[in-house]
Amino acid sequence: MNDPSNVLGKVRRSLGRTAPLTRAPVPPSLSEPLIRLVLSDIGLPQLFEKKALENKIGVTPLRVDDLAAELVAFLHSKHVKTVAVPKSAFLDRIGAVDALRAAGFVVSTWDEMTVDDMYDVDASVTDVWKAVAETGSLVVRASPEHGRCLSLIPPLHVAIVEPKNCVADLIDLFETATASGDASAFTIITGPSKTSDIEMNLVIGVHGPEKVHVFLLA
């Protein structure tokens, strides 16, 4: 019978070593171009759009002046009646919440909702903290004003992205998060919710939104 306690000995012999290392090996230095695919901040919104579309995230590039009309028309096309939004100075500043209410949507803000309430809304409309160009991912930072459930429970999640919030890759994202010193949870969204747990059959929207759409401001 094989002695499981001798596993490390077998690995050591396979590596040609006769004794344990006295100190940990130093990893080789890697040239940054070898590990980073996006080396410039130029064109990040366009790259984000390309990658997001590959991830089955809908993207509508537009000017901020056109947002209200386009957002209302999009939600009407999806037969949305109830909308959840965060307490967001950005959404208030661009007039998104006022436009939704003026169009007849029932709009509730996170501070006046419970988690159970989220299961009764048709869609959520949120801002995002960052958008990762290399992976086409949305990054939502949880806070008392912006609960994680907003982007995780409603069947349709609409995100409004400012170009200045685009970062090149996950390295930049985590460096920014570390520098901010914010201990809140982050949700990284790379497409609609999907799973293949049962017999490897892909199912969309089981554990979260079945549709994610981005309005990318110019």
Residue 37 lies in a domain: no
Q: Is the pLDDT of residue 1 over 50?
A: no
Residue 48 lies in a domain: yes
| Rounded Cα–Cα distance for residues 7 and 13 (Å) | 10
The pLDDT score that the predictor gives to residue 32 is: 81
Could you tell me the end-to-end alpha-carbon distance of the chain, in angstroms, rounded to an integer?
A: 67
Domain range for 70: 42-217
What mean pLDDT comes out for the span 47-53? 97
Q: What is the DSSP string of 87-145?
A: --HHHHHTTHHHHHHHTT-EEEEGGG--HHHHTT-SEEEEE-SEEETTTTEEEEE-BTT
- CATH number of residue 71's parent domain: 3.40.50.10420
pLDDT, tens digit, 9 for 90 and up, residues 74-118: 999 999 999 999 999 999 999 999 999 999 999 999 999 999 999
Question: What total number of domains does the chain contain?
Answer: 1
What mean pLDDT comes out for the span 12-20? 85
DSSP letter at 213 equals E
Give the position of tokens 């596993």.
Answer: 7
Residue 183 lies in a domain: yes
